[in-house]
């Protein structure tokens, strides 16, 4: 079953790539298409962060990962460098888990 999903995903990516080559340039140069395609990676990354932070299997959880995310957001608001943001989030989550405050 897993290989079927991998193959289907690969085929879908290939078809999307081919369709991109077949579209006329006027469609790809449209301002709306450019804006949406520029924001798509941001939306996908945000969705990945939310799923990895608040999901465990088939259930929603609120644990040390959420606190790490909040700490990372605060570090970003303070304009910390990316490496510092990652370290702040990791240290916050690990510290809460070590103290037994969050599973």
Report the C-alpha gap between 63 and 52 in whole angstroms: 12
Asked if the model's pLDDT at residue 93 lies above 80, the reply is: yes
Compute the mean pLDDT over every residue in the chain, rounded to the nearest whole number.
Answer: 93
Distances (CA, A) of 53 to 20, 29, 38, 69: 33, 36, 24, 8
pTM for the full model?
Answer: 0.68
Q: Tell me the per-residue pLDDT of 30-72, one tens digit each, with 9 for 90 and over.
A: 999 999 989 999 999 999 999 999 998 889 999 999 999 999 9
């Amino acid at each position: 079953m897993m290989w079927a999903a991998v193959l289907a995903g690969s085929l879908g990516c290939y078809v999307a790539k081919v369709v991109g080559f077949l579209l006329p340039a006027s469609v790809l140069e449209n301002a709306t298409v450019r804006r949406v395609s520029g924001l798509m990676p941001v939306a996908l990354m945000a969705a990945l962060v939310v799923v990895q932070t608040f999901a465990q299997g088939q259930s929603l959880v609120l644990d040390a990962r959420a606190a790490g995310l909040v700490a990372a957001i605060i570090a970003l608001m303070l304009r910390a460098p990316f490496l510092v943001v990652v370290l702040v989030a990791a240290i916050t989550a690990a510290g809460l888990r070590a103290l037994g405050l969050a599973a």
